[in-house]
Chains A and B, each alone.
Chain A
């Protein structure tokens, strides 16, 4: 079954803790993305990676970090510097061919992070 797997589905973080959200894809896509979704708002881009060992900040990268050591994996760490981390986090991937207008994005099922 091809797709994007996010784990865990639910995650609880104590104040001052770092937590890592997992995202794995077997679609052989070059590009991967992390978005944050808050109620009543559109998805906002945190980080994206066009290729292994390379990633760029999105619109709201402060308090987050990522790595891209393998094509299939793009984990997101929510650090203690992120002051309001409670949200729904979505990982996505796309074939990512620059300049091609048929670049469709596919999403995982999300991780809901709650600060306790």
Chain B
């Protein structure tokens, strides 16, 4: 059974600092890995999708890397802003199924 872990559970940084969010998974047989953002009481917004054959994916200030052999992915958010405050979840995909981590709750202090 795939286990997905996100450490730390919470993170607080001053505005302008770069954010580094970690995701680890136990089974490297995955099709893809997806990072999501969740605001309080809201649904999930897809940020980045990394296919199993890719090493990284970028969108604006966001960059996500994937190392399948070690079972790890990292989401980097450059020059953080208060609007980046949210919970970030990673999910690994195999076929139709996604296995989720519990998320990292980020607070960016102005």
Contact = CB atoms under 8 A, between A and B. Distances in A.
A31 B102 contact: no
10 contacts: A4-B43, A41-B102, A42-B99, A45-B98, A94-B96, A100-B31, A101-B93, A104-B32, A107-B36, A109-B43
Given A101-B53, A107-B44, A109-B43, A96 B102 contact: no
B100 to A, nearest CB: 4
Given A42-B4, A42-B103, A105 B42 contact: no
A29 to B, nearest CB: 11
Size category, B interface: 20 to 34
Interface of A: 4, 6, 31, 33, 35, 40-45, 48, 50, 58, 90, 92, 94, 96, 98-110, 112
Given A101-B31, A102-B49, A48 B99 contact: no
Contact of A112 (B41, B97, B102): B41
Contacts, number: 72
Contacts of A108: 43
B28 interface: no
Contacts of B101: 42
B75 to A, nearest CB: 16
Contacts of A106: 46
A40 B49 contact: no
